[in-house]
Structure 1
Amino acid sequence: MSQTPPRPPAGPPAPRPVPTSADVARLAGVSRATVSYVLNDASAVRISEPTRHRVRQAAEELGYVPHAAARSLRAGRTRIVLLPTVPVPVGRLMGHFLNELQWALRRLDYTVVQYASMGLDGDEAARAWAELRPVAVVAFGAAQLTPHGVDVLKRSGARAVITLGPQPVEGAHCLPVDQRRVGRCAGAHLLDRGYRRIGVVLPEEAGLEPLSGPRLDGVRQAVGGAGSGAVADVVPLPLAYTEEAAGALAARWPGLGLDAVFAHNDEYAMLLMRALLDAGVSVPGDTAVMGADDLLLGRLLRPRLSTVRIDMETGRHLAELVDHLVVEPDHAPEPRELMAARAIHRAST
């Protein structure tokens, strides 16, 4: 008796065909040009609202979305704004700024792409960014960009290259962001309050070096500008963001002879102030403590935390600058400071 041979195992299901604009046009009963006008929000062509609704409904039913690369080829450039990832921990202030920037760029019909650039330096990073053919690049911190890198980006089609950092880069539109200003504000405030030996916390947290070094320099500038003999010294204080490290620093505090400390930001200030109080060091009686960023939690502490409030341009303004430079790259406005800082006096100083 013959046996039926075993059936071979079923393979993976055949992939569903990718819907095209022609499919949408057939289902909606319109031309492919009409589909393109509707789905790309072309305002120069008058199309009735019922037709627009029919096209969008057909696209949704078929699962069709426009092909960004094909649209870019037709237009001659992409609508991509590339944001290389910030190489420092993003705090509340910067997080809000980035969210607002991305929202505003999207409202201006740009596609925002965040690019993880860790491990890429200088011209290597610029070449990697250029592969995506962005119409604009907004780089936070200019260390990775060189004049040659800017040229590579512009030759690949970038109409705007914007850097946010302390040093300009030839060929790019630079918005100054000088962290020394934060340190100068803190140092001047402590000097005005009569403190004459100031410690400055240097976080050991990876990625904060681009902020902590300039802030220390800013305190030193404030001290140097106050006249010779005004302050005995500015003392750097390396500190890890742990209770154990703060407790160890507080334990040797009496031997440091400091009457004030600028603790880099509010988070480190609150960590250190708690450790000092636990060690019996009075704040501000024995030592004044100052932070930066003006976090709400610092106002709820006792004593309330003195701080440096950082005021930044809104992300919407930066998005409008990107759009201006894309549309009119030869008519760039004058660069202006992106960040301002001012001291806020409270009970801890």
Structure 2
Amino acid sequence: MTQTPPRPPAGPPARRPVPTSADVARLAGVSRATVSYVLNNTSAVRISEPTRRRVREAAEELGYVPHAAARSLRAGRTRIVLLPTAHVPVGPLYGHFLNELQWALRRLDYTVVQYASMGLRGDEAARAWAELRPVAVVSFGAVDLTPFGVDILKRSGARAVITLGTRPVEGAHNVVMDQRRVGACAGAHLLERGYRRLGVVMPEEPGLNVFSAPRLEGVRGAAAGTDAEVVPLPLAYTEESAAALTARLPSLGVDAVFAYNDEYASLLLRALLDAGVSVPDDTALMGADDLLLGKLLRPRLSTVQVDMETGQHLAELVDRLVGDPDRTPDDHGHQAGHAPGHDLMAARAIRREST
């Protein structure tokens, strides 16, 4: 009996050719130049909306994706906006702001890259960021930029280096996001209510010192020249740490606590009530950021409402600076290399039952 020889093992399926802009042009019935203008969102050439739609539909049907590196070579720069991060956990308020910023930048045709900068400092971080050749960097202060670091970024092609914080950096475009104002509002409110020994929660979680240290400074500023004392209170975001701090408060003589934000205030409030401490009769308590959570607690939480400009505003500033990095002071009082007159946030105290 004749045996059928075994079939050779099937090889990998043939790879489909990668679609090109020429394929898109043929399917859409337009030139390759038109495909490039449409998919690169070029505004210098007027193309009708039906043609734009036809090109996009053809690209989607073929699975064509423009080559970012090739586009960067043609343009002479990337469209990357770098948002460095370094152990910075953000609450709902800042999370919403960052999400809005990223969406707005994307609508302006930028590619947003969050860079994990853990373990990097100063000029070392700037060199690492520069390797990606970003067209702009927006630093939230987790890494201390230096003038030399800014120069590294600009020589690598960054047309805009924006810092958000209280300390201007030479060569960068500084936008004020002054957390001291939050602490100053809280301190002034507690002092007006008659409290004189103010505890200030300092979160132990990595990265939050960027926000908590200026808030402590703001409380100290509000208390300067009065008979009040300010006591830093380290606190981890755990029930055990909150219970331990609650047990220490009587020996510290603290009569009011600014708990950094509403989340830490909620954690501490639970521990105080569990220990039989009356709020505000025994110890007043105040948060910040005016989260819905604070309104649902009993007693309702006094807080500092932080009014931030939209992420859209910051995205538009990035776009203006990319277009003209040496622009003179604009309608917001900014000037490259100088501290601006414009502040990205404002704050005001809201009194509720906890104070």
TM-score, with structure 2 as normaliser:
0.90
Cα deviation, 1:260-296, whole Å, max 9, x if unaligned, reads 1111111111111222122121111111111111111
CA, structure 1 residues 237+56, in 2 after alignment: closer, same or farther (shift >3 Å)? Answer: closer
Paired residue type of 2:119: G
Per the TM alignment, residue 194 of structure 1 is displaced from its structure 2 partner at its CA by 0.7
Task: Give the gaps of 5 or more residues in structure 1.
Answer: none
Paired residue type of 2:188: A
Per the TM alignment, residue 237 of structure 1 is displaced from its structure 2 partner at its CA by 1.8
Cα deviation, 1:191-235, whole Å, max 9, x if unaligned, reads 111111111222222222222222222222221233xxx12x322
Q: Give the aligned partner of residue 282 of structure 1.
A: 278
CA, structure 1 residues 53+331, in 2 after alignment: closer, same or farther (shift >3 Å)? Answer: closer
* 1:345 is the counterpart of 2:351: yes
* 1:319 is the counterpart of 2:325: no
CA, structure 1 residues 58+274, in 2 after alignment: closer, same or farther (shift >3 Å)? Answer: closer
Cα deviation, 1:71-122, whole Å, max 9, x if unaligned, reads 2221222222111125311111111111111122222222222222222222
Partner of 1:143: helix, strand, or coil? coil
Partner of 1:174: helix, strand, or coil? strand
Aligned residues: CA RMSD: 2.1
Correspondence for 2:303 among 307, 319, 339: 307
* 1:85 is the counterpart of 2:81: no
Distance in 1, matches of 2:253 and 2:53, equals 74
CA, structure 1 residues 205+38, in 2 after alignment: closer, same or farther (shift >3 Å)? Answer: closer
Which structure 2 residues correspond to residues 29-48 of structure 1 after superposition, within 5 A? 29-48=29-48
Moved more, 217-226 or 88-97: 217-226
Paired residue type of 1:328: D
TM-score, with structure 1 as normaliser:
0.91
Which structure 2 residues correspond to residues 72-111 of structure 1 after superposition, within 5 A? 72-85=72-85, 87-111=87-111
Distance in 2, matches of 1:165 and 1:50, equals 45
Partner of 2:224: helix, strand, or coil? helix
Partner of 1:164: helix, strand, or coil? strand
Distance in 2, matches of 1:185 and 1:318, equals 25
CA, structure 1 residues 157+302, in 2 after alignment: closer, same or farther (shift >3 Å)? Answer: same
Q: Give the aligned partner of residue 17 of structure 1.
A: 17
Distance in 2, matches of 1:209 and 1:53, equals 48
Distance in 1, matches of 2:353 and 2:242, equals 21
Distance in 2, matches of 1:282 and 1:239, equals 20
Distance in 2, matches of 1:215 and 1:49, equals 50
Distance in 2, matches of 1:271 and 1:19, equals 55
Native 8 Å contact 1:142 1:167 kept in 2: no
CA, structure 1 residues 20+272, in 2 after alignment: closer, same or farther (shift >3 Å)? Answer: same
- Taking only the aligned residue pairs, the percentage that are identical comes to 81
Distance in 2, matches of 1:128 and 1:180, equals 30
Task: Give the gaps of 5 or more residues in structure 2.
Answer: 335-339
CA, structure 1 residues 52+274, in 2 after alignment: closer, same or farther (shift >3 Å)? Answer: closer
